[in-house]
Amino acid sequence: MEFLRKIAFPFSILYGLITSLRNYLYDVALLKSTEFKTPTIVVGNLSVGGTGKTPQIEYLIDFLKSDYKIAVLSRGYKRKSKGFLMADSTVSAEILGDEPFQIHLKYPEVIVCVDADRTNGITKLEQLENPPKIILLDDAFQHRKVRGGCNILLTTFSNLYVNDTMLPTGDLRENASGANRAQAIIVTKCPADISETAQLDIIKKLQPKAHQQVFFTAITYDTQLKGESTIDLSDLSDSEILLVTGIANPNPLTDYLKSINLNFKHLKYADHHHFSLNELEEINSAFESLSATNKIILTTEKDYVRIFGKLKNLHYISIKTTFITHKNEFNNLIKNYVEQSSGNS
């Protein structure tokens, strides 16, 4: 795989030129970008793969939901539907997409909808009889047809965008200079004990502009597993775990389980994977082959919404994003933007 990426370098140059030209045409207004009256907060990244967008969206929901009616608009990656769709009691992860469906289940008071055309999606939301006061755009940093009012760019501690290269040689969807559109840059999945010196070194590498602030967050895992029943992680020391993941980067989770000395076998699938009947049978067989008396199937919350009801002894571990420093400064940045926006003035 590494060899193939290296020989694809010429295509990376071409892809970089194409995306840079596209961004230039938007920057000089030769391509139309629409700004809406409703405050829009964009959460996205420059790279493919998991940077923690869903936990960041959930953080914003928790912060804003008591004061504002919120809508989350997503593309609904790999969903088995087309066009604009709003979550209700009839939708599933397959129809809505796993991440929007997860948010819908966790926050029933929030409007959750999907549309690959974000311009059309926002227009539909603003036409509702009781429209939202804030729209959170999930994974829309490259969707230049919409001019987000506040752009939050995520980059992982282990793979900063400044150290990456363009697809297909690297993981970047656009040139690193695209970061200039962000008002907030969040370095995600940091070690919880990251030092101030290490933070300053990363800020120096990122070279933020005068209008940008850099923040650092870590993943925090829930100490209780949910699903078929509620189990404390501390009660699993003598158990065997079959870990099933279909996410971009399961390494933080496997590292965490190792750090608390849990015994697990890992079945890894592609990101947003839809499990076939044969694969579900294989998972069941792998679970039955575990020799311990106490055993469970463990998955992520995103995977759980795709497979709950299809496997027995299934549990999930939820995560949240935690600001290591300057949480209040981030909250104030969001609060000031929303309060000063025309839609809420």
If you compute the radius of gyration of the chain from its CA atoms, what whole number of angstroms results?
21
Are 58 and 103 in contact, with CB atoms under 8 Å apart? yes
162 and 292 fall within a common domain: no
35 and 181 fall within a common domain: yes
> What pLDDT is stored for residue 344 in this prediction?
53
Amino acid of residue 258 = K
178 and 243 fall within a common domain: no
Structural domain harbouring 286: 223-317
Question: CATH no. for residue 88?
Answer: 3.40.50.300
> What pLDDT is stored for residue 304 in this prediction?
96
96 and 182 fall within a common domain: yes
pTM across the whole model: 0.93
135 and 188 fall within a common domain: yes
Question: CATH no. for residue 285?
Answer: 3.40.50
Backbone angles phi, psi at 13, to 5 degrees: -60, -45
Are 98 and 33 in contact, with CB atoms under 8 Å apart? no
189 and 48 fall within a common domain: yes
Spans in the chain with pLDDT lower than 70: 1-6, 342-345
43 and 26 fall within a common domain: yes
> What pLDDT is stored for residue 70 in this prediction?
98
Number of domains composing the chain: 2
9 and 158 fall within a common domain: yes
330 and 313 fall within a common domain: no
What number of other Cβ atoms are within 10 A of residue 237's Cβ? 11
209 and 265 fall within a common domain: no
d(CA 72, CA 76): 11
> What pLDDT is stored for residue 342 in this prediction?
56
88 and 176 fall within a common domain: yes
d(CA 151, CA 133): 17
**C-alpha dist (Å) from residue 81 to 76, 94, 293:** 9, 8, 42
Residues 6+ apart with CB under 8 A from 99: 53, 54, 74, 77, 138, 302
Supply 32's token pair.
Answer: 């139309």
> What pLDDT is stored for residue 9 in this prediction?
79
64 and 142 fall within a common domain: yes
> What pLDDT is stored for residue 7 in this prediction?
74
d(CA 79, CA 252): 26
> What pLDDT is stored for residue 5 in this prediction?
66
